[in-house]
């Protein structure tokens, strides 16, 4: 086989592999991702809906029950009805009323049940121009 042809075949094979991998990447990302929702959208969601919820913890709503906690969240703009949330395990340091959180979980009986280890509380300090003090 002449080298020109060989090189061309090699290129086609490499590109083919790259395209296949890219397709796999795209496919799995759409199937593995969790939808991002706000509390108000989850209030009316059917039971069993799984989502990555972003909301604001209602001040004074946090109650501790052994290893678990329950609290309520509202939309990030602070409007609308609040959604009850349960979570088990250690919570991040900045977690408290009034803070924005991101939590993955499932809606069961009108309560959002968070998966352990998925609670993210936004660190409130860096580059915030809106002071929450």
Burial 97-126 (b: 16+ CB within 10 A, else e): eebebebbbbbeeeebbbbeeebbbbeeee
Residues at the site binding other proteins, with contacts judged by CB under 8 A:
21, 25-26, 28-30, 32-36, 52, 54, 64, 66-67, 88-96, 102, 104, 116-131, 133
Closest to other proteins by CB, 63 or 109:
63
Rounded CA-CA distance 51/58 in Å is 20
CA distance linking residue 92 with residue 103, whole number of Å: 12
| Residue placing its CB nearer to other proteins in the complex, 109 or 130 | 130
Smaller CB separation from other proteins, 33 or 44: 33
């Amino acid at each position: 086989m002449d080298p020109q042809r060989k090189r061309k075949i090699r290129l086609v094979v490499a590109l083919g592999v790259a395209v296949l991998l890219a397709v796999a990447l795209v496919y799995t990302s759409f199937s593995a991702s969790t939808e991002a929702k706000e509390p108000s959208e989850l209030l009316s969601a059917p039971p069993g809906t799984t989502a990555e919820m972003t909301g604001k913890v209602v001040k004074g709503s946090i109650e501790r029950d052994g290893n678990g906690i329950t609290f309520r969240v509202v939309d990030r703009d602070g409007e609308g009805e609040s959604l009850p949330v349960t979570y088990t395990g250690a919570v991040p340091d900045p977690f408290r009323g009034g803070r924005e959180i991101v939590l993955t979980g499932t809606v069961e009986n009108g309560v959002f049940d968070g998966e352990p280890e998925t609670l993210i509380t936004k660190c409130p300090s860096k580059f915030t121009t809106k002071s929450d003090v």
